[in-house]
Chain A
Amino acid sequence: MMAALGYVTLAIFLAAMVLTLLKKINLPVQTVLVLVTLVCLLIGAIFKGAAEGWGAVLAMPNEMMGGIILHPVTALLAGLFMAGALSATGGFEAFKVLIGKLQKTPLGLAGTLVILIQFPMLASLPCGRIMAAALLPLLFTFGSEGGMNLLTKSQLIVLIGAFARNAFGSCGPSPIGGVGQIGEGFLGSYFPTAADGILRAPQAFALMLGTALTALFLKLVSQKLYPNDCSLREKVTGEGITVAAPHAPVTGYIALVIFALSLFVAIVQPLGKMPVQTVLVAAALLIIIIGRAKLEDLMAGIILLPVSAMVAGFMAAGALAATGGFDALGTLLHGVAKFPLLGAAGMLAIFVQIQTMIPLSCSRILTAALVPVLFLFGPAAYNFLTWEQLAVVMAAYIINATTSCGPSPLGGGGMMGEGQMRVESGYIKGAYTFTVMAAMTPLAALFMKFVNLARFPAPGQAFKTNLPALAGFAALVLVANIAAIRLLSQAAEPGDRGYHRQAVIFLATGVLAGLVLSLSVFGWTIIPALQGAFGGLLAAVWIAFMVPKRLLPEPASF
């Protein structure tokens, strides 16, 4: 009876998420998640009350709280509190001024743009939307509409698309409430220093290279597929700079300095071991006091982001934990792994892509629910994986998860951008899904295997960093991706022509991703490699369905 409870609550959670994604439930995500939490707890109370009595029912709130991973939730709240303080005191305005001045340095325009594109990841904020909101207006000014008239329409599309890709994945490696911290919490039960950031570098590595590949995809494929669909204006010959230079209050610069110092203290810990959250809260309070931020400004700065939606995801995960939903999902996937064509390798190749397959507006919602399941695949329960293999799979999973809000039809960056550009669905979304599936996921796995297992050793383990192997395999993945983009570019034609050739190439890169993951996890063994490739193919088929081939008035359906 109690096993059935897990399946019931799991089914409720997944159904609610998919129906919200398809817009069949017409409520904000945060409301859906809170309702799911309440319904799961209510059903759990009925089941447990009938089977085990009142004592079990009264223990449920504690079980739910135990299922919520506190560290990333508090770090997220602290990060967003800091973002609110920066917003209220003009910190982001000061940021824009500094970036604007950067192009007058020897870096020039090209160097400034490259830094700008990667800046969300460098800034390490817990949600990429914060930096996107702060810097996107600046990006527009480089084009014709914005006044500077420095970039052509094509260049501006690439710049904005690649910047948004980086922003909508930058929440992963953030040390202040980043999505990766959820995985690090679990890996910490074996790797003693995991909380110092075992998943941070693999994500940053994959995101940097993935951003570059996104730019290439937008330039060579998207613009060829939809040559006339973007409403951005072309560069006007002869027009000069007409945009006014941005201004920022002094408090904004002070806020920026305090923010930078707090990041340094939180990451490097020069003052001794101190919780990241405490450092951020202290710094934010200092900014508020020095900047004399008004309560209204502070509140307005914080509510720009749906904090409640992010926290509600953790609540739903806690309810699933209390009612056995994770165990049910683990058992189901355990069954899938017994299917001969898939095996554990194939199942994992699908599992690491699952958040790109079901892209929600904030990756934390599913990550909080699915990372505990991934943890069960390790020595803690099903023993599919050793701890080291679990770390490799976790790296692949987390980068895939954190970038999934980009192509989400529920307020993802790609969707909002496409809607505004009045372009066909798939213009940005196709680039985002392709690069995360085919490049970023395997690249993160490779980095973990060849570098971070050595840098975050477990007791009694002595892995060695193998940079040549990382360089070789990463080059292989990149060359395969660039070749695939070239082939897609040759196959790309406006309309439906060439669709099948494009689909075949897209699926082939899914196979490659599954293959690389299996090789990274299980080594040079034929059967897991084939199973991983097959799992990668199935994941790619699903993802391909999510990227529509023609203009749709509504987001793509399954």
Chain B
Amino acid sequence: MQNTIFTITAVFLFAGWLALEIALHRRVLRGTVVGIRAPRLPLAELIVSDLIVRLDDGREVDAQASGCVQCQARFAAGSRVALLRRGDGYIVTVPWLRQRAKTCGAGE
């Protein structure tokens, strides 16, 4: 019984993870980083980076990348990013393809 419950849970989780990746691929907006705002507080980039992103439809929006995402992806001006709308802002996700090199923590 316990094994069955575990298997069902595992299938749900893996299916959910795949669905998340597919849904992200379908729902995300794409754009190019124009710049990275200087953080309002020291060390704030450990939590989140504020990016200025020009969407492919020409609009320029503010987006947030978590410290983890920012440092793994190493966004810089010119990097292509994928965004997801959340409330009145946008969240950046880790892309799968090429990034431009950038030192972590160096704001512009």
A residues in contact (CB < 8 Å) with B: 23, 26-31, 34, 70, 74, 77-78, 81, 129, 132-133, 136-137, 140, 145-146, 160, 164, 230-233, 273-275, 277-278, 281, 295-297, 299-300, 302-309, 311, 361, 409-413, 415-421, 553-555
**Are the C-beta atoms of A416 and B10 separated by less than 8 Å?**
no
- The smallest beta-carbon distance between A309 and chain B, in angstroms, is 6
**Residue B37 at the A interface, CB < 8 A?**
no
B contact residues around A23 at 8 Å (CB): 101
**Are the C-beta atoms of B2 and A420 separated by less than 8 Å?**
no
**Are the C-beta atoms of B2 and A274 separated by less than 8 Å?**
yes
Chain A: CB-nearest residue to B12: A281
Complex Cα gap A307–B14 (Å): 11
Complex Cα gap A26–B9 (Å): 36
**Are the C-beta atoms of B20 and A275 separated by less than 8 Å?**
no
Given the interface pairs A77-B16, A299-B84, A304-B66, the reply to whether A29 lies near B72 with Cβ below 8 Å is yes
A contact residues around B69 at 8 Å (CB): 303-306
Complex Cα gap A554–B66 (Å): 21
Complex Cα gap A31–B74 (Å): 13
Name the one of A77, A164, A302 contacting B46, with C-beta atoms under 8 angstroms: A164
Within 13-33 of B, Cβ neighbours of A (below 8 Å) are at 13-14, 16-17, 20-21, 23-24, 27
B contact residues around A74 at 8 Å (CB): 6, 9-10, 13-14
B contact residues around A129 at 8 Å (CB): 66-68
**Are the C-beta atoms of A411 and B104 separated by less than 8 Å?**
yes
Chain B: CB-nearest residue to A278: B9
Task: Point out which of A132, A146, A297, A420 has the most chain B C-beta atoms below 10 A from its C-beta.
Answer: A420
- The smallest beta-carbon distance between B51 and chain A, in angstroms, is 14
**Are the C-beta atoms of B6 and A275 separated by less than 8 Å?**
yes
- The smallest beta-carbon distance between A554 and chain B, in angstroms, is 6
Please provide the 3 A-B residue pairs with the shortest distance between their CB atoms, ordered closest to farther: A419-B105, A411-B71, A300-B86
Q: Can you offer 16 A-B residue contacts whose CB atoms are under 8 A?
A: A27-B97, A78-B9, A129-B66, A164-B46, A231-B42, A274-B2, A281-B9, A296-B86, A308-B21, A416-B46, A416-B104, A419-B103, A420-B46, A421-B43, A553-B103, A555-B104
How many Cβ-Cβ contacts under 8 Å join chain A to chain B? 171
Chain B: CB-nearest residue to A77: B13
Complex Cα gap A137–B41 (Å): 9
Task: Point out which of A23, A81, A277, A419 has the most chain B C-beta atoms below 10 A from its C-beta.
Answer: A419
A contact residues around B91 at 8 Å (CB): 300, 303-304
- The smallest beta-carbon distance between B3 and chain A, in angstroms, is 9
Chain B: CB-nearest residue to A29: B72
**Are the C-beta atoms of B94 and A306 separated by less than 8 Å?**
yes
**Are the C-beta atoms of B72 and A411 separated by less than 8 Å?**
yes
- The smallest beta-carbon distance between B13 and chain A, in angstroms, is 4
**Are the C-beta atoms of A30 and B42 separated by less than 8 Å?**
no
Complex Cα gap A416–B45 (Å): 7
**Residue B61 at the A interface, CB < 8 A?**
no
A contact residues around B8 at 8 Å (CB): 278
Given the interface pairs A30-B94, A299-B20, the reply to whether A309 lies near B72 with Cβ below 8 Å is yes
- The smallest beta-carbon distance between B55 and chain A, in angstroms, is 16
Within 26-74 of B, Cβ neighbours of A (below 8 Å) are at 27, 39, 41-48, 66-74
A contact residues around B17 at 8 Å (CB): 77, 307, 311
Chain A: CB-nearest residue to B13: A77
A contact residues around B74 at 8 Å (CB): 26
B contact residues around A306 at 8 Å (CB): 68-69, 72, 94
